[in-house]
Structure 1
């Protein structure tokens, strides 16, 4: 097996898993086009080295909370962009059945996919799609989502559709980036009054039992008669008509967010004949709109440092507005992309917003526009968080924070200085006290940096020193944080010293161990001592944990001795 390709596969798979987890929470980190390119590269590699166990290509989504199995797997849709992809879909169908069947076109709603099960003619449960096999139970929350009938005339029935929010209702929310992001955040909230205060809606688009109907539109009419909302649909007899319908849609005239149209074969017998492949049905296809875009210029390229030293290039651009949103920065994702695309300060680029949310570089128009005021900088790199260069094609050799020589790690560059790199130290401490981890209030990034500079906190376990400093009425801690903040931080630490094992494991900031993985470990190990013992053994077998994660944890508990001091200051519940 090609070792270089396998390493690239591992790196890309890791990236996709990270993006899937965030997307499940309504927080997309990269554009759809960039995400699709990663998955295509993964598929290209697997065509050479063979199918890989636990490949992201086999998954439909990601879940991190308590889940319930779907009675019938919930698939996603294959998709493409613009009318060219419609022609490709028709060609596939024609090759399979030697005819051009009647199609139904519907809005592709940008919401949260859910499945609704009815038993004994009554609502039984409502699940999110999750990973396709298991979803998060939102049955209680569904009481406050309009468009979900409590009863159904048919028994043992499963309806699929989207929970969404209109643009008008989204304008009334706070702290969310898009209607889909708002829907995801609201629907997962445990406070029913919070959900009730927002107008979430459900639109049905299918169900799992085709045998009772001959046509897809018969199914839609049945759903409407049962009290479900459905989107408008269009019927097409051929490819040209489907392309014409797609091009006629103006999403700005629609009250809820859509990012394309869905084509479905109307004849359900043909649908059953075609069946599914591993993650999607063969009889349906999503055609996405081209992203909204505009041109601008790169004014600077910053090299941002991650918790584990990964360098991410971020382009600062001449501010532009796309669909009412001002864009000043755009991620380039990794160093290999920066190198291969040869982005430089002064380049004219086309920016787009994926799903009308994430800005990304669609293409480079021209190289090195004259007249841009380039920011100077390789002098005095020390203790800065960014590298600025008039010609970024000359990739940085040293960490912009600690000046350690950078190394290539698959598609990116890394600083390997660990705790000796100030930026990495600060980010790891911030992670330790974050809401999903130790949940310590009063220790934002600015206060952590103040305490770090004065040698009070150097590693996460040092936060427990604040208890003694406040009790002893230490003048320095009150001067740095202020008396009220110091007291509140002290009380927050005391209140959160009793913590669940999965949250503590997550708080440790172990490479490759996210919130969901930490829960898997805690479910298996039960206690911190058992966690240490398990990963001290030569052989470790925990369902859901691959060799990369296991080796990462083993190395971490061997090298990071501070975790034992931190453990002495908490109580696992």
Structure 2
């Protein structure tokens, strides 16, 4: 931080004594500087110099000033970290340069080969930096003139989700960079990091969600990712999220020769980096020794990490090594061995999903694997059970694949005593008694009864989920309670719930009931593609729901559609076509949809395209920054007029529109011989084909 008198970072400002806008602006700027300084001391230096109460006083005084004089509020003010209306949808943005994933290795000889290859292909001495591979959500942030302007997820490496508003809520993400040790703040800075949750905070969050009847998260990584993808940044702000920055991808005016130099630059700009666990190695043996040390420390660390990243240290050598299609040649990820343990299968049950699919589930004697208690594991299907010869009562080897999904690797047959029982898929549905349909290969088992209670509960839970109608407050437990009390049975019943209905649940008081009803009312205003996804039609995920919404203006347009007609739509295959036809030809399904409209459901369809549009058949790819439109808006613009906005360049691309900061897509366009337009040429094309956009 700048070398200033400490008192400048504890300004005595009384909002009640401010009498002019000019004085208010000056006082507010002093308070903002002070708050940024104390955020730096707290989040980056981990060495606060004032108490929480003193910090709160500074923050409250700034809020009062900005409320009294709204014109003095700045976008980078600390008060702007939380706020704003929920976004209609996150939208997609391009990375300035591809945010590639790393090649994973698990064997010692793979590490040795990596080191040997690097040494063979570059000149001069070579060293490697070893650092933790954090188990969270990778993000990229862009600062312009020191101000945070955009943040995104990794996505497919070229295009990510726009999570700017959500990242602003993290205390460890400065809205404005600070400068220490006389380091100049670059005009443009692109940094990458990992957002994560501490293990202890994750457990507290799950305990709270369980008490409130909400679905719990599977692990800290899912919790962090789900929190950052919220449409409402205020929900993100309530979650205990942290970030470590680990790479400078672009920095105008700053120079560094090595990766370690770049890492050490981050805290000087107010960006939190984990410098305690960055180590320089020269040989494969040193790298493997460091890997063993990391693995030994794994359980003691307050956050999850699932391996170690190894990077060539010198930037010029990284450039010489270059990249493959999907990952850089100068870095690898050494993954920890899967976490495994043995336990006993107490019984094998069968779970019925929302589409009627029957899945065998192993109920396990509880076992802790990597700090998580495992009680259940999917056995997938009858074919796999027979192939692995898994029996009820077996002692089995259980693994958390990728630290996420537990599954049974194999039975320990030496421990069998003859009491174990083979499993056979039931002939009748265990919930409703309908005859089960089992495929010849025994990989698919299905309950054909759409009125099956298990399917009904799963459909209801799916309908209110975060990615569907997003009704906060109606978690799995509350849906089950409402169903068991006979208060909901079909989807439309959710829209007709009353406060009296909700108050019948043991843990729902008056205010909680009103909050849930408010959430339900809010969910009645939805986009068609969101609603189609929420209906739980087999094979209709989020992408396919958008494909349908582009071609059909309303739900009514799908009533008479045939599978044959659907097959004519690009991307729709026979299974999807048949599933859509079957669903919308079902009278009961449409009666339920009509009841939802009667209860106040309204559907907008911003994706719908008329059959004849001025840009029909054209494919655009956008790269770099455009002055007239944010990236997501310009994509929506061309799609509105019939074009396709693709995220990568191919031989089918008609135009690449390139602005300042264009990345590798520009090179791809030249390689493919695709027409390249600047922003003015793009506007001329629009005027020619579309006319006035006003």
Above 0.5 in TM-score?
A: yes
Please tell me whether the aligned partners of residues 501 and 572 of structure 1 are also in contact (alpha carbons under 8 angstroms).
Answer: no
Please tell me whether the aligned partners of residues 136 and 194 of structure 2 are also in contact (alpha carbons under 8 angstroms).
Answer: yes
RMSD: 4.2
Partner of 1:206: 247
Offset, 1:162? 0.8
Partner of 2:335: 288
SS for the counterpart of 2:264 is: helix
1:273 counterpart = 2:308: no
**1:419-472 CA-partner distances (Å, limit 9, x unpaired):** 2655334433554465633849887235435649xxx95x546778x78xx9xx
User: Which stretches of structure 1, 4 residues or longer, exceed 6 Å deviation after superposition?
Assistant: 94-100, 440-443, 487-495, 533-537
Partner of 1:116: 141
Partner of 1:86: 111
Distance 1:230 1:189 in 2: 25
**1:511-568 CA-partner distances (Å, limit 9, x unpaired):** 111245434533553422345577677266667x442564245433454233332332
Please tell me whether the aligned partners of residues 189 and 251 of structure 2 are also in contact (alpha carbons under 8 angstroms).
Answer: no
- The runs of 5 or more residues in structure 1 that have no matched partner are 1-63, 375-389
Please tell me whether the aligned partners of residues 214 and 268 of structure 1 are also in contact (alpha carbons under 8 angstroms).
Answer: yes
Distance 1:118 1:158 in 2: 6
The 3 A distance-change label for structure 1 pair 89 and 526 is farther
Please tell me whether the aligned partners of residues 296 and 350 of structure 1 are also in contact (alpha carbons under 8 angstroms).
Answer: yes
**1:101-140 CA-partner distances (Å, limit 9, x unpaired):** 4221111111111001123443221112223233222223
Distance 1:95 1:408 in 2: 54
**1:457-514 CA-partner distances (Å, limit 9, x unpaired):** 5x546778x78xx9xx9xxx99x999x99x9999987776554323331232211112
Of 151, 155, 165, which aligns to 1:126?
151
Offset, 1:273? 3.2
1:562 counterpart = 2:588: yes
Offset, 1:215? 2.3
Partner of 2:387: 340
Distance 1:408 1:93 in 2: 51
Partner of 1:61: none
Partner of 1:527: 554
Distance 1:205 1:493 in 2: 41
1:70 counterpart = 2:74: no
Distance 1:262 1:496 in 2: 42
Offset, 1:261? 0.4
Distance 1:156 1:438 in 2: 37
Partner of 2:223: 182
SS for the counterpart of 1:208 is: strand
The 3 A distance-change label for structure 1 pair 153 and 438 is closer
Please tell me whether the aligned partners of residues 128 and 281 of structure 2 are also in contact (alpha carbons under 8 angstroms).
Answer: yes
Offset, 1:190? 5.3
Offset, 1:371? 7.5
The 3 A distance-change label for structure 1 pair 331 and 85 is farther
Partner of 1:219: 262
Partner of 1:31: none
The 3 A distance-change label for structure 1 pair 565 and 194 is closer
Of 308, 319, 330, which aligns to 2:377?
330
1:417 counterpart = 2:459: no
Please tell me whether the aligned partners of residues 93 and 99 of structure 1 are also in contact (alpha carbons under 8 angstroms).
Answer: no
Please tell me whether the aligned partners of residues 121 and 153 of structure 1 are also in contact (alpha carbons under 8 angstroms).
Answer: yes
Please tell me whether the aligned partners of residues 344 and 367 of structure 1 are also in contact (alpha carbons under 8 angstroms).
Answer: no
1:448 counterpart = 2:489: no
1:310 counterpart = 2:357: yes
Partner of 1:514: 541
SS for the counterpart of 2:325 is: coil
Offset, 1:209? 4.1
**Equivalences for residues 13-412 of structure 1 within 5 A:** 65-81=90-106, 83=108, 85-87=110-112, 89-90=114-115, 93=118, 101-149=126-174, 150-151=176-177, 153-170=185-202, 172-173=204-205, 174-175=208-209, 176-189=217-230, 195-196=236-237, 198-209=239-250, 212-231=255-274, 232-249=277-294, 250-354=297-401, 358-366=405-413, 369-370=416-417, 390-392=421-423, 394=424, 396=426, 399-401=429-431, 402-408=433-439, 412=443
Larger Rg computed on CA atoms? 2
The 3 A distance-change label for structure 1 pair 238 and 323 is closer
Offset, 1:164? 2.0
**1:156-175 CA-partner distances (Å, limit 9, x unpaired):** 33211111233354455333
SS for the counterpart of 2:311 is: strand
Please tell me whether the aligned partners of residues 440 and 496 of structure 1 are also in contact (alpha carbons under 8 angstroms).
Answer: no
**1:341-394 CA-partner distances (Å, limit 9, x unpaired):** 22112322222345655433344332562286x6xxxxxxxxxxxxxxx212x5
Structure 1 window deviating more from structure 2 (140-149 vs 111-120): it is: 140-149
SS for the counterpart of 1:316 is: strand
Please tell me whether the aligned partners of residues 130 and 311 of structure 2 are also in contact (alpha carbons under 8 angstroms).
Answer: yes
Please tell me whether the aligned partners of residues 304 and 313 of structure 1 are also in contact (alpha carbons under 8 angstroms).
Answer: yes
Offset, 1:177? 4.5
Distance 1:496 1:194 in 2: 16
Distance 2:149 2:588 in 1: 48
SS for the counterpart of 2:422 is: coil
The 3 A distance-change label for structure 1 pair 201 and 496 is closer
Distance 1:88 1:339 in 2: 39
SS for the counterpart of 2:142 is: strand
Q: How many residues align?
A: 480
